[in-house]
């Protein structure tokens, strides 16, 4: 089952838990920059970050964050869930449990 979540937001941080088995992605809205919500991925099965040479770290002013995201795709399967963010930079996370809470609209 596919569901589109978190429309027109900015990803501003990815936090891994101390044990590395859980990560939380935090978002702001793109209009006012207020905290929008989070996606928490528990019992991570796979994590992929492909920058496609989008970020040039030789430029001191260049940064990955905040990253504008038109929408996030959430897929639910029988034994796991997966989110995909594809904006030139691709973030793909598979986990046993993916919870999200949009605080905004």
3-state secondary structure the chain: CEEEECCCEEEEEEEECCCCCEEEEEEEECCCCCEEEEEEEEEEEEEEEECCCCCCCCCCCCCCCCEEECCEEEEECCCCEEEEEECCCEEEEEEEEEEEEECCC
| pLDDT at site 46 | 96
12 — pLDDT class (breaks 50, 70, 90):
confident
Strand partners, 14: 25
Q: Which comes out higher in pLDDT, residue 30 or 24?
A: 24
| pLDDT at site 105 | 47
pLDDT at 62 over 80: no
| pLDDT at site 16 | 92
């Amino acid at each position: 089952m596919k569901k589109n979540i978190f429309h027109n937001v900015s990803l501003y941080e990815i936090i891994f838990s101390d044990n590395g088995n859980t990560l939380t992605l935090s978002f702001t809205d793109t209009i006012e920059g207020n905290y929008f919500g989070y996606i928490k991925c528990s019992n991570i099965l796979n994590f992929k970050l492909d920058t496609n040479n989008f970020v040039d770290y030789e430029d001191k002013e260049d940064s990955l964050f905040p990253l504008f995201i038109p929408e996030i795709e959430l897929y639910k399967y029988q034994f796991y869930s997966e989110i995909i963010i594809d904006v030139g930079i691709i973030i793909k996370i598979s986990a046993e449990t993916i919870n999200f809470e949009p605080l905004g609209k």
